Amino acid sequence: MSKSRSILELSSIIQQKVSIVDQTLKDNQLPPLSFDTGAPLSSQIPVSIEDTKYDLLEALGELQALLHGPLYHVMHMSSIVPNNAAVFGVLSKFDIPQNLGADECVSYAELGKRCGLLESDTRRLVRGAVALRFFDEPETDKVRHNAASLALATPGAAAWVKSTLRNSTPSALKLADALAQYPGSEDPRETGFALANGGRDFFTVLQEEPERAADFAQAMSMQSLGPERNVSYCVEALAAWDRVAECPRVIVDVGGSHGTLAEALVRRYPRVEHAIVQDLPKTVKDAKVPEDLLKGNRFRFMAHDFFTEQPAKDADVYLFRQVLHDWSDSKCVEILKSQIPALKPGARIILIETCAPPPGAHTHSRDIDHRIMDIAMKHHANGKERTSDDFRALFAAVDEKFEMVSIRRPPGSAMSVIEFTWRG
């Protein structure tokens, strides 16, 4: 935003874009956007008007900042995070959304009793949530759910909030200390997260604390079901596999957890004969192969640490979904070099990662998710979100025999499909 637009100009843009969204919803017989109880919990805005949505968000955000003014903007942006964390921390710890029935309207006294909170504290904290558009107070001292608080009561969203408060918030507050103490470090043990967790890195904590690991896994599963990170976009982006010559026979999903991506690919592309899902022993020991995929050993799990030599030799495709962004460049080089002994000429490495835009390429409304995620990767594990040039440089540092084939971002997806071929 090099120069502020006038508030009249912004209001005109907002009216125009709102009209497009409203008409598109009507044309597609979709429900109106609403936070009322009973409204859909996921966005109903079609992918076809993705640009319109972001143009509208950009104009709304710019107008809000202008109306606040520069000084209040400073105070608002710096104070909203800790105070929001306080509200969500209480909602999460005392299970407030879960202690209110979907169709109930109860007093703060009754809700506090159910949650083990004083009435006065319940009132203050829930009213703080109402100010953030969670819950509704239809009459004085009575509270009920709205669509947002109902979403917060779902297991996935509850795990997301819990994991964010337990992992991300303390980690973020220690980032400045980590930068001062470990300038230029790429070590996951020299991060804001490690400073907030007694020197333990993020991955060690997940291995040592099963409850935190379970919350994190559930939060990531919920994120993958969201419209912008749903695996279906990337599965369809590989539609060239419909052609016999393009479809791999054997695929390996490296760091694939419980196999969400591999299962989707096997079901979508029947010519894939064998899928191997690799992850650490603790992850795969409880993983279940879908019953209908047991026949013919078409789908299986394998315990493997991707920093060690790849044991699945001569596969056609090695997949990495949201793996490399967890790690620094030096660690990614280790991971990728560990694949080389298994690669046959023509083997492909396919990454499903966010491909960050260069500065200024997108509006603030599009850019903010990339920048926030990049900062999160930094303070959690010294990881990073990468641009297309970053990915090229990374593979060049691994071996000159890697050749970039393509980068494709399916419309509506936050993720890109990034393909390299081994020319060894």
Mean pLDDT of 371-390: 95
DSSP, collapsed to helix, strand or coil, labels residue 344 as coil
Going from the C-alpha of 139 to that of each of 123, 127, 142, 219, the distances in angstroms are 13, 12, 6, 34
The answer to whether 1 and 62 have CB atoms below 8 angstroms apart is yes
Residue 151 has pLDDT above 70, yes or no: yes
The answer to whether 261 and 231 have CB atoms below 8 angstroms apart is yes
Give 40's DSSP letter.
-
Model pLDDT, residue 421: 98
Mean pLDDT of 389-396: 97
Residue 416 has pLDDT above 90, yes or no: yes
CATH class of 71-152: mainly alpha
pLDDT in tens, 8-66: 999 999 999 999 999 999 999 999 999 999 999 888 899 899 899 999 999 999 999 99
Residue 348 has pLDDT above 70, yes or no: yes
pLDDT in tens, 231-266: 888 899 999 999 999 999 999 999 998 898 999 999
Residue found by looking up tokens 């083997």 in the block: 347
- The token pair at 276 is 């191997």
Residue 1 has pLDDT above 60, yes or no: no
Q: Which residues pair with 407 in a beta bridge?
A: 418
- The token pair at 231 is 């695996």
State the amino acid at position 291 in one-letter form.
E
Q: Which residues pair with 320 in a beta bridge?
A: 254, 351
Q: What is the mean pLDDT of the chain?
A: 94
State the amino acid at position 215 in one-letter form.
D
Kindly state the percentage of the chain with pLDDT values over 90. 81
Model pLDDT, residue 332: 98
- The token pair at 395 is 């593979």
Torsion of CA 40, 41, 43, 44, to 10 degrees: -20
Residue 327 has pLDDT above 70, yes or no: yes
Mean pLDDT of 103-128: 98
Residue found by looking up tokens 């104009």 in the block: 59
Torsion of CA 247, 253, 259, 260, to 10 degrees: -60
Model pLDDT, residue 294: 85
Residue 308 has pLDDT above 90, yes or no: yes
Kindly state the percentage of the chain with pLDDT values over 70. 99
Residue 2 has pLDDT above 80, yes or no: no
d(CA 231, CA 95): 30
Torsion of CA 333, 336, 337, 339, to 10 degrees: 170
Model pLDDT, residue 411: 85
Residue found by looking up tokens 């491909």 in the block: 355
Residue 111: what are its φ and ψ, rounded to 5°?
Answer: -65, -40
DSSP, collapsed to helix, strand or coil, labels residue 397 as helix
Name the CATH architecture for the domain at 227-422. 3-Layer(aba) Sandwich (3.40)
